[in-house]
Amino acid sequence: MSAPGSRVARLSWRDRRLHRHDARGLRLTLVAAATVLVLAPFTLTLLVLASWSPLRRLDQAVTEALVGYGSQHPAWARALNVWTDVFGPMPLRLGALVLVGWLARHQARQLALWVAVTMTVGGLLGPLLKLLVGRPRPEVPLTQAVGLAFPSGHALNAALAAGVLLVVFRPRAGRYAKRCAVWAAALLLAVVTGFSRVALGVHWSSDVLAGWLLGAAVVAATAAGFTVWRAPPPQRSTPAQRSTASKR
């Protein structure tokens, strides 16, 4: 029976899986989470390619309702159009570029590299999926939009930017109220941007959902790689330490 003084506190399952010094548990947890998130948008892609009737009916009903409301309330449509222009893909990419420079200047080069990689990977996957799926946009938009529909580039880039906000600024927020403000800003950016694309009639609801899921998957996958990259290697005990431990 071990002495009370030699008893070692046991970590919970959650702590073992997420502890940054336990490289094996951390890698397994992050890879599993990233895999689930990556599979979600591609599952939705298969449903769109198969023209799954329940999803098609839902898309049609949501678009008709929101576009009908917007056509009857021009001020509402104009406000959404301003939002979708201000928080479009190009402004968000320019903002990310400024953030990369700011992080590099403050000696956070690894984090700056992660932001650049995340926005670049997401920016390349979106157009590639558009070409592969080839889905047309709704026929009665309230504003002009070019290109294919699936996934929504606005929703994808908004989700990427929201993930960047959380990863970069939440740990720096400090107080609980500031952390909540970061979460609120990230959610507002992603949700309102995606909603505006459906309400303006330039995307189906499943286009926006796919953009959100793909953005979350890219953030999760790159954050997983970044976290594992930063995690220190497990420390191996020296023969002297093992000998001391065996004598206790």
Confidence of residue 21 (pLDDT cuts 50, 70, 90): very low
- Listed as own residue / partner, the contacts of 118-121 with beta carbons closer than 8 Å and 24 or more positions apart are 118/160, 118/163, 118/164, 118/218, 118/219, 118/222, 118/223, 119/92, 119/93, 119/157, 119/160, 119/161, 119/164, 121/218, 121/222
Cα dihedral value 167, 99, 194, 202, nearest 10: -150
Cis geometry, peptide bond prior to residue 239 (ω within 30 degrees of 0): no
| CA proximity to 203, closest of 130, 132, 131, 125 | 130
In this prediction, residue 176 carries a pLDDT of 85
In this prediction, residue 27 carries a pLDDT of 63
What is the per-residue pLDDT across 7-16, written as a single tens digit (0 to 9) for each? 434 545 444 4
DSSP-assigned letter for residue 144: -
The pLDDT of residue 183 is above 50: yes
Q: Is the pTM of this model over 0.75?
A: yes
| CA proximity to 194, closest of 216, 219, 211 | 211
Confidence of residue 228 (pLDDT cuts 50, 70, 90): low
The pLDDT of residue 26 is above 90: no
What is the per-residue pLDDT across 136-171, written as a single tens digit (0 to 9) for each? 999 888 888 888 999 999 999 999 999 999 989 888
Q: Tell me the C-alpha to C-alpha distance, in Å, between residue 202 and each of 80, 218, 230, 232.
A: 12, 24, 41, 46
Please give the class, per CATH, of domain 19-229.
mainly alpha
In this prediction, residue 24 carries a pLDDT of 54
The pLDDT of residue 173 is above 50: yes
Please give the residue that has the higher pLDDT: either 107 or 161.
161
In this prediction, residue 5 carries a pLDDT of 44
CA R_g for the chain: 23
Please give the residue that has the higher pLDDT: either 89 or 225.
89
Contact status, residue 224 vs residue 86, Cβ threshold 8 Å: no
